[in-house]
Structure 1
């Protein structure tokens, strides 16, 4: 178990990369910080920082430890701040800007915003869509304070909360594609398709690999097709036969149209959605917003097969029964 000074000294030094400024922030001596970091490195069994007379930098092990510890430390701070605010009976006030990346995320965000306004009349909540081609840009630019979007996100300047809900995956294909008549498809089938993807200039590579893989689980290459900037472009490319694309199964309820079919991806991981916010400059309204999302989320999700959390208007069979009925004329 980490001691409090070890945790705070490590995370502060990882941010400042300067022993003097770290000591000032923690109100201890510079030598105390140095001794604490050395003791932590002995416990870890590896150097966490490289340092010389001119600079301090994180090692690979240090970066990994920072990325693992920062979200947990932030959540501890949030929990304490919640308790203090509740104990003082404080009312939230100000403006909170919330982003969402899919309509089903937007539904929950709008419900949470309405509840927050009702409970705290002195606050205002602005909501808006986050474009898939730049999922973290508005958060980093400061034009949104918190957003509900698809995981994974592992960035040193962004704190991620727990997963709010998870969606099974489907493969969106042209209506006349051979896969359109199947009950389900496998990730291995992607090697026999052309994948319509996103332009990834502003998208982390690990996020792309999760949602638009370049290889199947067996290692077969997946042909990469058009790279789109917006969801509407992706719909058009698939509908006109340029390729296929993995999507959340719920997309069928929002985007079904002539020319498109949605087939369950039976062995794909779920699409997990969660809240994230900047590590620095946290909006004071974040805490009450997280509270109302926590309150609403249980009513917006239910446990599905295999333990997945599916929003309540998503059928547990991913819509297969309805497609079968449509094909049989029932």
Structure 2
């Protein structure tokens, strides 16, 4: 298997979408399809299950992905070290994050990065929900770790770094607070508090749906600009908020309860950077993030 074919396979294994894989690798979807079919013929078994709506890895495909990832990482690290040695990774690297758990990941990665590239200064800042991609678009950040999905021209979405089960943050006196778990259908039973800002349709569909899976209308509560407002609004009984389950460890306070969902997808967080010419420092930092991935969960209180 040629190195380019390995790259195509691993990209499709992450994206699970031929079009996005092609866009990410700057090739055509037919080139992706041809490469995968060639690999499957050589191996003698399917690597992906394809339907008109979904693409999934087979058990063999998952095994191949897991076997290839460490090798690819090792190759990339070797290339990054060579680039860093040749060009020198210096100057200022500006990194953004959107949540405390993304901050944990970013700060730890920055510590490792500084130990490898002492000539490069890392500047870290929080991203606000009212302008989630603005700093990246305006060139005020070089890379950021925040919520997925993101399908925006000029912005490259890298790998998912962590996936988190969802929970519903509800007022302590609300009937849902007595439940052991909630469903996406329960979103029709209380106003949904959401951040204000300019969000893409993909983000709205994933995080701020207007209807439940059965089609029931999800009522809207007040909006917030800064995350610190959300627990206060919920505690005041003005609505509920869909959050990562991990938020209970960071944002618990009197008057609110976190109830896990027993259905629905995870909340995913990944790395983003401007598509046009990422610097050697950006590439090196992304690879540190890939090495580090999931930050350690806080201990239960």
Q: What TM-score range do you get, normalising by the shorter chain?
A: 0.7 to 0.9
The whole-number CA distance in structure 2 between the counterparts of 1:165 and 1:199 is: 24
Q: Structure 1, residues 211-260: CA drift from partner, whole Å, max 9, x if none?
A: 12111111111111112212112222111011001000011100000011
How far did 1:313 drift?
1.8
Paired positions, count: 239
How far did 1:86 drift?
3.1
Aligned to 2:49: none
Aligned to 1:39: none
Aligned to 1:179: 176
Gap regions ≥5 residues in structure 2: 5-16, 28-71
The whole-number CA distance in structure 2 between the counterparts of 1:161 and 1:235 is: 30
Gap regions ≥5 residues in structure 1: 5-63, 301-310, 323-330
1:163 counterpart = 2:160: yes
1:70 to 13, 16, 23: 23
1:112 to 91, 109, 112: 109
Secondary structure in 2 aligned to 1:313? coil
Secondary structure in 1 aligned to 2:101? helix
1:239 counterpart = 2:235: yes
How far did 1:82 drift?
6.0
Q: How does 1:52-67 map to 2 (within 5 A)?
A: none
2:165–2:244 CA contact under 8 A, matched in 1: yes
TM-score (norm: length of structure 2): 0.73
Alpha carbons of structure 1 residues 156 and 67: separation in structure 2 relative to 1, 3 Å: farther
Aligned to 2:207: 211
1:137 counterpart = 2:125: no
The whole-number CA distance in structure 2 between the counterparts of 1:167 and 1:70 is: 26
Alpha carbons of structure 1 residues 269 and 247: separation in structure 2 relative to 1, 3 Å: same
TM-score (norm: length of structure 1): 0.67
Q: CA RMSD in A?
A: 2.4
Alpha carbons of structure 1 residues 275 and 242: separation in structure 2 relative to 1, 3 Å: same
Bigger radius of gyration, 1 or 2? 1
Secondary structure in 2 aligned to 1:231? coil
How far did 1:199 drift?
1.3
Aligned to 1:100: 97
Aligned to 1:59: none
How far did 1:87 drift?
3.7
